[in-house]
Amino acid sequence: MSQPKPDNWENPQKILVILAHPDDAEFFCGATLARWAKMGHEITYYLLTCGDKGSSDPNISGDALCHVRQKEQRDAAKIIGAKDVHFLGRPDGYLVPDMDTRREVTRAIRQFTPNILVTCDPTNLYPSESYPLNHPDHRAAGQVVLDAVFPAAGSHLFFPELLKEGFEPHMPQEVWVSLTTEPNTTLDITDTWEIKLEAILKHKSQIKDPESLLKRWRAHGKRKDSSTESPRYEEHFRVLRWRR
């Protein structure tokens, strides 16, 4: 008997994606998010920076780049099928998992009350040969999100000032950790791989050669089925579940 899919939830889920930059969601797990949107789940992005240092162009200011990248992210999220995009506004490149940021992430978890939370792996220093050193913001984002999830988000004793603002404790049922070298869950996202690529292309400020990018990503993660020559694509996660 085949095992049930790890995202075979009985009811529509509220999914909150908390990552560092515009484009992280699409690059890290965009095909999975598109899959979930097509399944009828509600997806909200909460990005900790606006990517205001993601350019080598000496003629663009950080503020101007922030505006560009926020628009690019909203356009990409529409293709994915996300409901909304929010930005915390921390400076790009300076993100740290300090207590103030942990409070803000805890507030977001309590505000949006997700069933499922998506972030990235704070321990992944050397992701791959093609991406040899992970951005410090990615690691900081993963760390502060996991620290906010447990033990803060679900406890009234952490950040009591949030209670005064009306944000009651809330604990996600699952946390899906992307960009990990220690996955325990793999999804076949072949059906939504092209949606991921279409969404990535909306991040024009980050892409020098779109054709080369598409060629690399269509080869990335490709697997050959034993019974067919059709390409097969996967995205991998470390999924954390809490017993009730």
Please give the residue range of the domain that contains residue 211: 14-241
Give the Cα separation of 50 and 68 in Å (integer): 9
In-domain check, residue 146: yes
Burial of 128 (0-12, 13-18, 19+ CB in 10 A): exposed
Pair of tokens at residue 74 = 């909203």
More confident residue, 225 or 175: 175
Distances (CA, A) of 98 to 60, 66, 88, 199: 29, 23, 14, 31
In-domain check, residue 6: no
pLDDT at 195 over 90: yes
More confident residue, 50 or 2: 50
pLDDT at 229 over 80: no
Note whether 63 and 52 are within 8 A (CB): yes
Distances (CA, A) of 112 to 34, 45, 121: 20, 10, 22
In-domain check, residue 8: no
The pLDDT value recorded for residue 239 is 98
Q: How confident is the model at residue 73 (pLDDT cuts 50, 70, 90)?
A: very high
Nearest by Cα to 190 from 9, 13, 38: 38
In-domain check, residue 193: yes
Mean pLDDT, residues 153-169: 97
Q: Mark 173-200 as b/e (b = at least 16 C-beta within 10 Å).
A: ebbbbbbbeebebebebbebbebbbbbb
Average pLDDT taken over every residue of the chain: 94
15-59 pLDDT, tens digit per residue, is: 999 999 999 999 999 999 999 999 999 999 999 999 999 998 899
In-domain check, residue 170: yes
Pairing of strands 84-90, 185-188: unpaired
Give the Cα separation of 154 and 148 in Å (integer): 9
The pLDDT value recorded for residue 56 is 87
86-98 pLDDT, tens digit per residue, is: 999 999 999 999 9
In-domain check, residue 24: yes
Which CATH number covers residue 39? 3.40.50.10320
Note whether 48 and 101 are within 8 A (CB): yes
pTM of the complete model: 0.94
Give the Cα separation of 152 and 159 in Å (integer): 8
| Domain count across the chain | 1
Give the Cα separation of 12 and 116 in Å (integer): 11
In-domain check, residue 5: no
Q: Which of 126-130, 182-186, 218-222 has the highest mean pLDDT?
A: 182-186
205-228 pLDDT, tens digit per residue, is: 999 999 999 999 998 756 555 455
What is the total residue count of the chain?
244
In-domain check, residue 3: no
Q: How confident is the model at residue 180 (pLDDT cuts 50, 70, 90)?
A: very high
* Residues forming a β-bridge with 193: none
Mean pLDDT, residues 107-130: 96
The pLDDT value recorded for residue 1 is 42
The pLDDT value recorded for residue 226 is 47
Alpha helices per DSSP H over the chain: 24-38, 62-80, 99-112, 136-147, 160-164, 193-200, 210-219
